[in-house]
Amino acid sequence: MKSFLLKTIANAVALAVAVWLLADITVSGDTSGERTITLVLVALIFGVVNVVVKPVAKVLSFPVLVLTLGLFALVINALMLLLTSWLADKVDVGFHVEGFGTALLGGLIVSIVSWGMEMVLPDGK
């Protein structure tokens, strides 16, 4: 449970950095508290997408991953971010990613920042 909470916090911080760096990734909310709650909800959605959909996408795209020496993983991360944006829109959470190029950069930022956060945060085991 502790590990799940830490991973959600790491994803929320990573998404916040992506929102801060890229103008085409937006989070709605009038106050910083509302935006924080929105980011935590989006981090939960992003976590579910990464647990359920991402492994299937990696298995199905394995030949392309091998041919591109793993660089296709950036495309998979972008698609996971776009799927998170779409799902957040469906459940009326104020998070939106505008376009594939933005999702590609956002996925790269989220991957790097969440990796760094997981290195800094305790393991929770």
Q: Judge whether 125 lies within some domain.
A: no
Write out the residue range of the structural domain in which residue 96 sits. Answer: 2-120
Reported confidence tier of residue 2, pLDDT bands at 50, 70, 90: low
pTM: 0.89
Adjacent-strand bridge partners of 97: 25
Work out how many domains the chain is built from and give that number. 1
Other Cβ atoms within 10 Å of 94 Cβ, number:
17
Asked if residue 80 has pLDDT above 60, the reply is yes
Q: Is the dihedral of CA 71, 64, 106, 39 positive or negative?
A: negative
Q: What pLDDT was estimated at residue 1?
A: 61
- pLDDT tens per residue across span 6-44: 888 889 999 999 999 999 999 988 888 999 999 999 999
Q: Judge whether 113 lies within some domain.
A: yes
From CA 84, how far away is CA 26, in angstroms rounded? Answer: 13
Q: Judge whether 49 lies within some domain.
A: yes
